[in-house]
Chain A
């Protein structure tokens, strides 16, 4: 074969390969030609990265032109004639900055990620669909009359998003290029899908499973105490008149034999539970009488999964018909979820109430049920066949879903079938409540506007310019005939169904409290001594609530800057409680060198999770070792599945009872350990573990900022597009909580002063743009890590930004 002919064959092979790889998808890779094309391919996202100084756009449905003026933080200030026009513009600008996030969010809620990511996303899709999330979203949309404000808002948002998709043409965001797919058209139901998924994150619970798993091992009385309906430390949201937290020091019932009542049941596979007390949210407000300037102050920092781009998008809506609201929105949902107006400010924390119940059903066919029995008669299950498609439209899996009158019917892990009833799957509050409430002028009017909110239930804190601060745990709280929701209910009787909901007057709330401040941090909202009815169980240990209240009780002249500093305060009431106990226990064993050494090192700690401290790592290791020893009765291997670790508030209750059988380690036969022995052992074991992992105490490896980090992952968990190992000041149970994988934390921090001219400060970990080529992709992470906040600008006109003015986007109605 001649050299020329060989070259031709080589060229032909190369061309075939290139063209083939360009036209077809080589395995998991995208088509190379479109990907590498310098005009439309992946490089083109650099062209879309920054906003041009002036741009125009067309949105069908606009009733009048809209001016969007960006400030120097890339926050759009949207000046529109009406709220619906502002919503259309919001859809447009969010889609410009966050289109892929929008797509991923709605698909996660709709159970249609496989159509984008292939079969690897099937487990998550199955979870969403089996929970009934897309079914509930579809029913909710169908229930909205065509001219209802909710439907019009959803359609307006869709108008804006789709206008942006059309305007972008083939210039797709980065992730679409990598995946080799194009954006799907946005439908109004998509907003409901993403809100459903958010509800799953915020308002699901596995109380029944926790309780049942523990009861199988240690009996019902012990399980009741491990996951108590009444938090052992009371520092409630609704002030109870106490000047300090109230501790329950009564003895914990000892571990008993396994319960016969708790049948071996379980439901869907869930992710491993997060470390106890690891995440949550904070908000607090201070009345004018306790602030330096005499104006009400409000702070809020919802804690969610950290991601790039952020779960939040910052915007300011100003309309000619009187709306003027600044805050953060969930991309793909209308309205500002947390924010402020010129009259008031509000922030939310999750209520953590039990709004999710499971019912053991009697079915006609254990393998393929079609009917279930209630009150002695058989009822038909509603069946739905679900198909999961891959990006090419091929069916990758088929499921048959079943619904009883209570909700989705799911097969329990241990056998049998359970109905799941959950407030998120039932008629919800109006989507436009936040928009309506943003027109309120007073705190009480704002709360009244939000009273129809159903799910996910939130602790809604508000402060106004008149000096009123108020909070209400707002949402649908069902009343159970059995009085409890943490146990599996019998499904064969309609008498087990929820009888009614808590009325607005019954909700935990406080308006202008005498103490002059209010705080919520996911703790039990109301003191059971005030309201004994069941609202939930296994509450977050109230360490963050205690710390906020400590700080606010101690400061009678609070400033906005103090509010900011408190958000990353390194103090830990948990450490304040447990460190002295560990040291006192160690002192009882002077003969044990390892215990003495560990105690000396721990005693050097000021119990503050500052970045530079070198002892928090020892405390945390000792507490982990303590948990392993203390809760050995809950060994997952014995439980045939995960058993949730009881909260540290339960451990705190045990501290008062040094001889309680829970302290005894069952594996050590012939020895009965007591509290101090276990605490000392844990301290020594913690030291050993820390040295093994981080080296000698003062060799540098114990510095907190080398040990604990926030990890902010890109939505597709691509490391190059993530911000990993971000140092944080805080640890488990501090106001700036960080534990486990470091992928949860404060997702938006805001401080607002309600003076004659409202002033706001805020930031979130990320940036406004989801485009990794943009200077706004991750520009706020350093500031967030340092606990700093930006001044939030509140112009009254498009020209009101002065030196902070940025690009302009003029949006016009379709001709």
Chain B
């Protein structure tokens, strides 16, 4: 499977981040699948791009309130707050990867 270069992943990450900002979480599967359809390659790299996109968006949040929020949410599930970052980042990774993988399968089936 063709590997994607850092530039492509960064570009994809920015695209997914912009898509999420403008359209919501749907941007992740749509853009991942669409990109995979147009430029087949590693599905995992699309997942990583989605992870980077959402990670970047989370970094745009004001740090102090975000930290307090993580701490309180962690208190809800008796875990250290930062552990909860796994949730959005893992969600983006798996969503991007799975959408890309399915798109790839369809593309192959169609070819």
Q: Interface residues, chain A, CB within 8 Å of chain B?
A: 5, 7-8, 10-12, 14-15, 18-19, 22, 32-34, 36-47, 49-50, 174, 718-721, 771-775, 777
Q: In the complex the two chains form, what is the Cα distance from A174 to B100 in whole Å?
A: 32
Given contacts A12-B98, A32-B91, A38-B58, contact A774 B65 (CB under 8 A): yes
Can you identify 18 A-B contacts, CB atoms within 8 angstroms? A7-B43, A10-B98, A11-B97, A12-B102, A15-B98, A15-B101, A18-B94, A18-B98, A36-B87, A37-B24, A41-B88, A44-B61, A46-B69, A49-B65, A49-B69, A720-B74, A720-B76, A721-B72
User: Is A718 touching B102 in the complex (CB atoms < 8 A)?
Assistant: no
User: Is A15 touching B29 in the complex (CB atoms < 8 A)?
Assistant: yes
Which residues of chain B from 25 to 54 have any CB-CB distance to chain A below 8 Å in the complex? 25-26, 29, 43, 54
Q: Determine which of A10, A39, A719, A774 lies in contact with B20 in the assembled complex, contact meaning CB atoms within 8 Å.
A: A39
What are the residues of chain B within 8 A of A12 when measuring CB–CB?
98, 101-102, 105
User: Is A36 touching B69 in the complex (CB atoms < 8 A)?
Assistant: no
What are the residues of chain A within 8 A of B101 when measuring CB–CB?
7-8, 10-12, 15
Given contacts A11-B43, A46-B62, A774-B65, contact A18 B105 (CB under 8 A): no
What are the residues of chain B within 8 A of A47 when measuring CB–CB?
61-62, 65
Q: In the complex the two chains form, what is the Cα distance from A32 to B91 in whole Å?
A: 9
What are the residues of chain B within 8 A of A41 when measuring CB–CB?
25, 88
User: Is A719 touching B75 in the complex (CB atoms < 8 A)?
Assistant: yes
Q: In the complex the two chains form, what is the Cα distance from A14 to B44 in whole Å?
A: 13
Q: In the complex the two chains form, what is the Cα distance from A423 to B72 in whole Å?
A: 42
With both beta carbons as reference points, the residue of chain B lying nearest to A5 in the complex is identified as: B105
What are the residues of chain A within 8 A of B21 when measuring CB–CB?
39
What are the residues of chain B within 8 A of A18 when measuring CB–CB?
29, 91, 94-95, 98
Q: Determine which of B20, B62, B77 lies in contact with A49 in the assembled complex, contact meaning CB atoms within 8 Å.
A: B62
Q: Determine which of B26, B68, B97, B100 lies in contact with A772 in the assembled complex, contact meaning CB atoms within 8 Å.
A: B68
Say whether B13 faces chain A, with CB atoms less than 8 Å apart.
Answer: no
What are the residues of chain A within 8 A of B75 when measuring CB–CB?
719-721
With both beta carbons as reference points, the residue of chain A lying nearest to B101 in the complex is identified as: A11
CB distance from B91 to the nearest CB of A (A): 5
| Size category, B interface | 35 or more
User: Is B66 touching A773 in the complex (CB atoms < 8 A)?
Assistant: yes
Task: Describe A's contact surface by its main secondary structure.
Answer: helix
What are the residues of chain B within 8 A of A49 when measuring CB–CB?
62, 65, 68-69
What are the residues of chain A within 8 A of B20 when measuring CB–CB?
37-39
Say whether B11 faces chain A, with CB atoms less than 8 Å apart.
Answer: no
User: Is B99 touching A15 in the complex (CB atoms < 8 A)?
Assistant: yes
Given contacts A719-B75, A720-B73, contact A43 B61 (CB under 8 A): yes
A15-B99, A773-B66 known; 17 new pairs, CB 8 Å cut-off, are A11-B100, A12-B105, A14-B94, A15-B98, A18-B29, A18-B91, A18-B95, A33-B25, A36-B25, A39-B21, A43-B88, A44-B61, A46-B69, A49-B69, A50-B65, A720-B74, A773-B69
User: Is A43 touching B25 in the complex (CB atoms < 8 A)?
Assistant: no
What are the residues of chain B within 8 A of A15 when measuring CB–CB?
29, 95, 98-99, 101-102
User: Is A772 touching B94 in the complex (CB atoms < 8 A)?
Assistant: no
Given contacts A46-B66, A773-B69, contact A38 B57 (CB under 8 A): yes
What are the residues of chain A within 8 A of B29 when measuring CB–CB?
15, 18-19
Given contacts A18-B91, A34-B25, A775-B64, contact A43 B102 (CB under 8 A): no
User: Is B76 touching A719 in the complex (CB atoms < 8 A)?
Assistant: yes
Say whether B12 faces chain A, with CB atoms less than 8 Å apart.
Answer: no
What are the residues of chain A within 8 A of B91 when measuring CB–CB?
18, 32, 36
Q: Determine which of A10, A37, A719 lies in contact with B25 in the assembled complex, contact meaning CB atoms within 8 Å.
A: A37
With both beta carbons as reference points, the residue of chain A lying nearest to B43 in the complex is identified as: A11
Among all A-B residue pairs, the 3 with the closest Cβ atoms: A720-B75, A11-B101, A720-B76
CB distance from A46 to the nearest CB of B (A): 4
What are the residues of chain A within 8 A of B87 when measuring CB–CB?
36
Q: In the complex the two chains form, what is the Cα distance from A549 to B13 in whole Å?
A: 70
What are the residues of chain B within 8 A of A773 when measuring CB–CB?
65-66, 68-69, 72
Q: In the complex the two chains form, what is the Cα distance from A719 to B29 in whole Å?
A: 35
With both beta carbons as reference points, the residue of chain A lying nearest to B58 in the complex is identified as: A38
What are the residues of chain B within 8 A of A7 when measuring CB–CB?
43, 101
Q: In the complex the two chains form, what is the Cα distance from A720 to B68 in whole Å?
A: 11
With both beta carbons as reference points, the residue of chain A lying nearest to B99 in the complex is identified as: A15
Q: In the complex the two chains form, what is the Cα distance from A45 to B70 in whole Å?
A: 11
Q: Determine which of B76, B88, B105 lies in contact with A11 in the assembled complex, contact meaning CB atoms within 8 Å.
A: B105
CB distance from A719 to the nearest CB of B (A): 7
User: Is B43 touching A775 in the complex (CB atoms < 8 A)?
Assistant: no
Q: In the complex the two chains form, what is the Cα distance from A567 to B47 in whole Å?
A: 59
With both beta carbons as reference points, the residue of chain B lying nearest to A49 in the complex is identified as: B65
